[in-house]
Structure formats: C-alpha cells, structure tokens
C-alpha cells in the first residue's frame, strides 16, 4: 500500500499540568504549597495521502481562538497563543498541499483544539467522518453550555457529515478506525497500514493519550479531560491489544517530544 503521512504543525497550546496528568501537582505535608505548572502541548493534524484519496486527520484550533472565537475564560485556561500563525491552509501548504486536495476529513473528536478548522469545509461535499456519539455530545454541549471544550462555532456549519457507528471499521483498504471512548464519548483512533517511512503501521490514538505517560504508564488525564474513566481504561486496553497484534508506532495527541521526532519517521 502506497501511503504517505505528513505532519501539519498547528502551533502550541498551554494548560495547567493537572489537566493532562491527573494529580501531577499535589500538596503534601512536606510541601503544602507546590507551584502550579503550565504545560505545553503541540497541536497538530495529519495528512494521509492514500490511494483512495487524501485524508485529513483533525482540523486543529480556530485561528481566532485568542480573538474571541473561544470564550475568554476558556482561553485563559487553554491558551493557544500562536493559533493565528498556523491556520490550516498555511499548514497544508508547508507540506505541499492545499485545501482543495483534501478528499476526506476524519475528526478524532470535536474538542476546540481539534475541530477549529472545519469552517474551511463548510458548503463543500468533502465527507467529514466523526463518531455518532461525538456529534451528539458536541451539540448537547452547545445546547446546554455544560462542556466548555466544545465551541458551537467550530462544528455548526453546513458540512457533509459522515457519521461512524459502533465499535470500529474500515474506512478504506488499509485505513481502519476504532472507537476509543473515555476522553470524550465519541473519540476515535486511526490505524494506518504502512503509515511510517519504513512501512510500519501507524496507530493514531489521539487524545486517548495526551502524552506518553498516559499511554505507557496508564496515568490518567485529570479534571475535565476524562468524560469517563472506566471507558478510558477499557479503551487503553483495546489500544494495547492492537499494539500487541500489529506492533504499530502509537501516536499520542499532544506529546511535545514525540511530535519533534515524528517528521523523521513519517
């Protein structure tokens, strides 16, 4: 299978370390007032150039995240200062593509740092694959205001939604999706056969694991980043089962060290 994967640089987000790593900073008797830590996480998308067409994995943060598209209190918590310097069309150009080359979009989920480029596909017939449960969750959040990680203006467009149902399946030959609920109800991962330069499979688990610590140590994300911890743990077991059977390169959602190395292996 002649498949090439490109990394799209969409900038860097900052957030309190206790979000991606539960209890990372904890008061103890000997250190009752530890300093809070702001962590940095890269935001990236993947462009999968596949015989069946060109597929875009996630669409990043909206370029006006810091200019009012994200509510001020949300931006104060999840701060993506350079979102405006890395809009989707420019990130595509950096790897030799443009918007019109994108035949399919897969949204791992619809959080604000993943769905903010969907407006680029409004009014087109480009299919946008997203899990049924994620689309329902996003509109529930928009209607009730109960989950600030979803921004109605990201996804409430005239889009050619292509809902994914159930547990997983084949998108195209050699491209498989898996339902990985936990971080959100409808998170999906993508398994790309021969997705690395040396022909190894690529398993994009996305925000199932913000970084290697979540995946390798089973250290959960904290606070609002786990919709369901039991589901997250079950999804982690599912990922590890895939890993045992396929020996893929597992790609995390926001791991700075891994993202630095990725271009060398893709």
Residues in contact with Zn ion by the rule CB under 5 A: 111, 207
The nearer residue to Zn ion, 209 or 262, going by C-beta atoms, is: 209
List the Cα angle 222/258/264 in 5-degree steps: 165
The nearer residue to Zn ion, 175 or 180, going by C-beta atoms, is: 180
Distance CA 195, CA 183 (A): 25
Smallest gap from residue 256 Cβ to Zn ion (A): 16
The nearer residue to Zn ion, 195 or 206, going by C-beta atoms, is: 206
Place of tokens 């980043």: 225
The nearer residue to Zn ion, 10 or 111, going by C-beta atoms, is: 111
Smallest gap from residue 259 Cβ to Zn ion (A): 16
Kindly state the tokens that stand for 34. Answer: 């530890």
The nearer residue to Zn ion, 207 or 255, going by C-beta atoms, is: 207
Smallest gap from residue 258 Cβ to Zn ion (A): 17
Smallest gap from residue 26 Cβ to Zn ion (A): 23
Smallest gap from residue 78 Cβ to Zn ion (A): 10
Distance CA 237, CA 47 (A): 27
The nearer residue to Zn ion, 80 or 111, going by C-beta atoms, is: 111
Kindly state the tokens that stand for 187. Answer: 């998170």
3-state secondary structure of 261: helix
Place of tokens 């589901």: 231
199: region left, alpha or beta (phi > 0 left; psi from -120 to 50 alpha): left
Q: CB nearest Zn ion: which residue?
A: 111
How many Cβ atoms sit within 10 Å of the Cβ of residue 236? 19
Distance CA 56, CA 117 (A): 11
Contact 55, 105 (CB under 8 A): yes
Contact 238, 266 (CB under 8 A): no
Smallest gap from residue 149 Cβ to Zn ion (A): 6
């Amino acid at each position: 299978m002649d498949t090439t994967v490109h990394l799209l640089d969409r900038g860097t987000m900052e957030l309190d370390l206790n979000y991606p790593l539960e209890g990372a900073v904890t008061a103890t008797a000997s250190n009752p007032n530890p300093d809070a830590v702001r962590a940095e996480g890269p935001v990236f998308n993947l462009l999968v150039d596949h015989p069946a067409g060109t597929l875009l994995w996630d669409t990043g943060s909206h370029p006006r995240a810091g200019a009012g598209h994200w509510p001020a209190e949300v931006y104060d918590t999840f701060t993506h200062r350079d979102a405006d310097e890395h809009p989707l069309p420019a990130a595509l150009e950096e790897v030799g593509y443009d918007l019109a080359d994108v035949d399919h979009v897969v949204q791992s989920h619809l959080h604000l740092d993943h769905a903010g480029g969907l407006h680029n596909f409004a009014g087109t017939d480009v299919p946008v694959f997203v899990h049924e449960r994620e689309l329902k969750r996003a509109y529930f959040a928009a209607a009730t205001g109960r989950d600030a990680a979803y921004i109605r203006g990201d996804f409430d467009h005239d889009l050619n939604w292509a809902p994914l149902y159930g547990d997983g399946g084949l998108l195209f030959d050699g491209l498989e999706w898996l339902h990985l609920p936990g971080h959100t109800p409808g998170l999906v991962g993508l398994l790309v056969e021969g997705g690395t330069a040396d022909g190894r499979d690529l398993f994009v688990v996305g925000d199932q694991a913000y970084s290697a610590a979540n995946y390798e140590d089973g250290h959960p994300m904290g606070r609002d980043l786990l919709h369901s911890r039991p589901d997250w743990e079950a999804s982690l077991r599912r990922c590890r089962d895939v890993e045992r059977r396929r020996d893929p390169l597992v790609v995390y959602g926001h791991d700075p060290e891994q993202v630095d190395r990725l271009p060398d292996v893709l």
